[in-house]
């Protein structure tokens, strides 16, 4: 497995590189955003580990560049920024998971395996269309339409809606949502799910449309096709 690791802190990079190599991973270290951007086009990576606070191009900019270039490689952010707003910004910019520093190495390995496993499953699954009445989600182009009108969603909003539509008329628990959309071991006390459900409702269930997304108190959320 080939990993691109973007980190300017030598103490952290030496620790992570040594541990990952001993765990059987092939890893290339880029100590700034410019070097990382150059490496992105050199080969197809299985995973990108990305620090946010870099000396030149910061991690948020690099994330946006990665997704602008249609690079679908999973990105795991490793950052000392612990504010929930920074986590949300990283996820909205295209990150697949977020691990705060300091972290336990075993948790890093678990996150890596979870992300690469999900990416492998997505590649093996044929592209398809998910539909709930007049709401259509296109998994190949990552686009959504309702009543023929395109609805712009962020990356995390799309992942959340896709999970709900894969389980039409079935309750999806908060634990399932956290695991699938934000990754394992995300803070279970966070209100991020409620925030993103609200975002989705404002876009999917706006005035003039029949309400589809419902809260099932004490259990989770459901999208109904009645």
Last residue of a domain, one of 105, 124, 143: 124
Q: What is the pTM of this model?
A: 0.60
Residue 136, beta-bridge partner list = 131, 145
Please check whether residues 99 and 165 belong to one and the same domain.
no
What's residue 180's pLDDT? 86
* CA proximity to 99, closest of 50, 142, 143, 141: 50
What's residue 124's pLDDT? 53
What is the span of the domain harbouring residue 7?
2-124
What's residue 104's pLDDT? 92
| HSE value, Cβ hemisphere, 13 Å, CA-based, for 98 | 28
Please check whether residues 13 and 119 belong to one and the same domain.
yes
Please check whether residues 105 and 177 belong to one and the same domain.
no
Do strands 213-216 and 220-223 pair parallel, antiparallel, or not at all (unpaired)?
antiparallel
Please check whether residues 11 and 101 belong to one and the same domain.
yes
Work out the average pLDDT over 109-117: 90
Please check whether residues 44 and 154 belong to one and the same domain.
no
Calculate the average pLDDT of the chain.
Answer: 88
Please check whether residues 116 and 7 belong to one and the same domain.
yes
Beta strands in the chain (DSSP E): 2-6, 26-30, 47-50, 75-79, 97-100, 129-132, 135-138, 143-146, 149-151, 172-173, 213-216, 220-223
Last residue of a domain, one of 104, 124, 144: 124
Work out the average pLDDT over 22-37: 94
Domain of 188: which CATH number? 1.10.10.10
Domain of 117: which CATH number? 3.40.50.2300
* Residue 30 confidence (pLDDT) above 90: yes
Output 119 or 64, whichever has higher pLDDT: 64
Please check whether residues 134 and 117 belong to one and the same domain.
no
Q: How confident is the model at residue 37 (pLDDT cuts 50, 70, 90)?
A: very high
What's residue 172's pLDDT? 92
Please check whether residues 80 and 141 belong to one and the same domain.
no
C-beta atoms surrounding 201 within 10 Å:
15
Please check whether residues 74 and 142 belong to one and the same domain.
no
DSSP class of residue 132 equals E
- Spatial strand order of the sheet with 213-216 comes to 172-173, 220-223, 213-216
What's residue 123's pLDDT? 60
| CB neighbour list of residue 57: distance below 8 Å, 6 or more residues apart | 32, 33, 34, 36, 37, 65
Please check whether residues 17 and 90 belong to one and the same domain.
yes
What's residue 157's pLDDT? 93
What are the φ/ψ torsions at residue 23 (nearest 5 degrees)? -90, 5
* Residue 78 confidence (pLDDT) above 70: yes
CA–CA dist 208, 68 (Å, integer)? 33
Work out the average pLDDT over 97-112: 92
Please check whether residues 105 and 135 belong to one and the same domain.
no
Q: Which two tokens stand for residue 5?
A: 């690791």
Cis status of the peptide bond prior to 206, with omega within 30 of 0: no
Per-residue model confidence as pLDDT tens digits over 116-143:
887 776 665 555 789 998 999 998 888 8
| HSE value, Cβ hemisphere, 13 Å, CA-based, for 34 | 2
Last residue of a domain, one of 65, 89, 124: 124
Q: Count the domains in the chain.
A: 2
CA–CA dist 84, 105 (Å, integer)? 22
Per-residue model confidence as pLDDT tens digits over 151-186:
999 989 999 999 999 999 999 998 889 888 887 565
Q: Which two tokens stand for residue 62?
A: 């690099």
Long-range contacts of 162-167 (CB under 8 A, 24+ apart): 162/130, 162/137, 164/213, 164/221, 164/222, 164/223, 165/130, 165/131, 165/132, 165/135, 165/137, 165/223, 166/130, 167/222, 167/223
């Amino acid at each position: 497995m080939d990993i691109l690791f973007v980190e300017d802190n030598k103490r952290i990079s030496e620790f992570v590189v040594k541990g990952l190599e001993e765990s059987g991973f092939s890893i290339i270290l880029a100590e700034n955003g410019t070097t990382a951007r150059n490496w992105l086009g050199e080969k197809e990576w299985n995973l990108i580990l990305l620090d946010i606070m870099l000396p030149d191009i910061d991690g948020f900019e690099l994330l946006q560049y990665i997704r602008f270039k249609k690079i679908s490689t999973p990105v795991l952010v490793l950052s000392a920024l612990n504010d929930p707003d920074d986590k949300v910004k990283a996820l909205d910019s295209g990150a697949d998971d977020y691990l705060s520093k300091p972290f336990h190495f075993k948790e890093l390995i678990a996150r890596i395996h979870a992300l690469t496993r999900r990416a492998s499953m997505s590649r093996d699954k044929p592209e398809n269309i998910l539909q709930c009445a007049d709401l259509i989600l296109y998994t190949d182009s990552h686009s959504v339409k309702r009543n023929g009108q395109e609805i712009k969603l962020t990356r995390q909003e799309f992942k959340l809606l896709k999970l709900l539509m894969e389980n039409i008329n079935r309750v999806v628990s908060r634990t399932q949502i956290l695991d699938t959309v934000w990754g394992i071991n995300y803070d279970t006390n966070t209100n991020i799910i409620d925030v993103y459900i609200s975002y989705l409702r404002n876009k999917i269930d706006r005035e003039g449309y029949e309400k589809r997304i419902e809260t099932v108190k004490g259990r989770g959320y459901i999208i109904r096709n009645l």
